[in-house]
A and B are shown apart, each in its own frame.
Chain A
Amino acid sequence: MDEDNIIKEIQALATPFWEEVDFWIFLVLAIVSLAASIKAFLEARAAKEAAKEAGTTVKIQTITIELNEIILKLDKLDIDIEFSFARDYLNEINRRVRRLTSPFAEDDEYKSKIETIYTSLTDCKSSLDSVRPIENGEEVVDNAVYHAVESHFADLSGELAELMGLFEKRTIQKD
């Protein structure tokens, strides 16, 4: 090998890699595959979020149906309601409302309304306690239990309807 050839070989070896066509081909392929991976990741994440949101929407619709049943129950209060029946009735409503609403109790959108509902449930209980028959006492005055709980039940019914409205607003926005 003569001196010129040696110099040429050295020059060829000294060429920076970014000046090689192969380098750019592989770089473009690498970028394209990376972009495809990122896109696939983002789509998978969006699909997961959508599935989660769909699950929440279905759950909220189920809760809304159950809240509606409770409201109808509250609105059909018998004027001759007796204390023991009212106590069981209120206990059931209290349990169902708290079970349905507790998962959303810390959610900013519902927090305030749910707190109002819990206060109303407590007020209903206090009002019912205020007509608890005195031991061996005679039930002379009619409808005392009805008078005690009727306005509280009306308040509670209205508040539950407002919460239903908030739940429905959420499902409408997602549709």
Chain B
Amino acid sequence: MRISEEYRKVIAQLIEASGSGAIKWTKQNPTTIYQETRTASGATAIMSIQQVRRDRGHYVFTVKNASKGEVVVSIDSMRERELAPMLDELYQIANYSIEKRSLDFLDDIIRGFKK
């Protein structure tokens, strides 16, 4: 099995987890989203996706072992063209989940006014 096939499976799982709200994404800036988590072995992992160029469908997906300060995974959709559509989907869903959380919070504020 090719490595990209393995990544395809992992990204599909991330898309699903993002859609269900299991992954809580955070925005670093308007086009960079990350999730910081603790792994089963206790290490701190930072997973991020950046929309580099919307006009070219260019994304960079990285996973960093923050405890060791090393980048474990780095996928650039300009090099891994076959993963570009999945990274696009992951970015859109992750972005939507952040927007949804913001809207829910706004909704909460508005409900507070009405009390």
Interface residue A16 (Cβ < 8 Å from any Cβ of B)? no
- Asked if A151 contacts B30 (CB within 8 A), the reply is no
Secondary structure of the A side of the interface?
A: loop
- Asked if A137 contacts B29 (CB within 8 A), the reply is yes
Please indicate the chain B residues that have their CB under 8 angstroms from the CB of A130 in the complex: 29-31, 51
Number of A-B contacts (CB under 8 A): 54
Q: How far is the CA of A141 from the CA of B29 in the complex (A)?
A: 10
Interface residue A3 (Cβ < 8 Å from any Cβ of B)? no
Please indicate the chain A residues that have their CB under 8 angstroms from the CB of B50 in the complex: 131, 141, 144, 147-148
Interface residue B4 (Cβ < 8 Å from any Cβ of A)? no
Interface residue B46 (Cβ < 8 Å from any Cβ of A)? yes
What is the distance, in angstroms, from B30's C-beta to the closest C-beta of chain A?
5
- Asked if B28 contacts A139 (CB within 8 A), the reply is yes
- Asked if A134 contacts B29 (CB within 8 A), the reply is yes
User: Quick one: which of A119-147 are within 8 Å of B by CB?
Assistant: 127, 129-134, 137-142, 144, 147
- Asked if A148 contacts B52 (CB within 8 A), the reply is yes
Total interface residues in chain B, CB < 8 Å: 20
Please indicate the chain B residues that have their CB under 8 angstroms from the CB of A148 in the complex: 31, 50, 52
Name the one of A131, A142, A151, A152 contacting B29, with C-beta atoms under 8 angstroms.
Answer: A131
What is the distance, in angstroms, from B115's C-beta to the closest C-beta of chain A?
28
Contact A140 B52, CB 8 Å, known A147-B60, A151-B58: no
A–B Cβ pairs within 8 angstroms, 12 of them: A131-B31, A131-B50, A132-B29, A133-B28, A134-B27, A134-B29, A134-B30, A141-B28, A142-B64, A144-B31, A144-B50, A147-B52
* Further pairs besides A134-B30, A140-B26, A141-B28: 12, Cβ < 8 Å: A130-B30, A134-B28, A137-B29, A140-B36, A140-B48, A141-B32, A141-B48, A142-B64, A144-B50, A147-B50, A148-B50, A148-B52
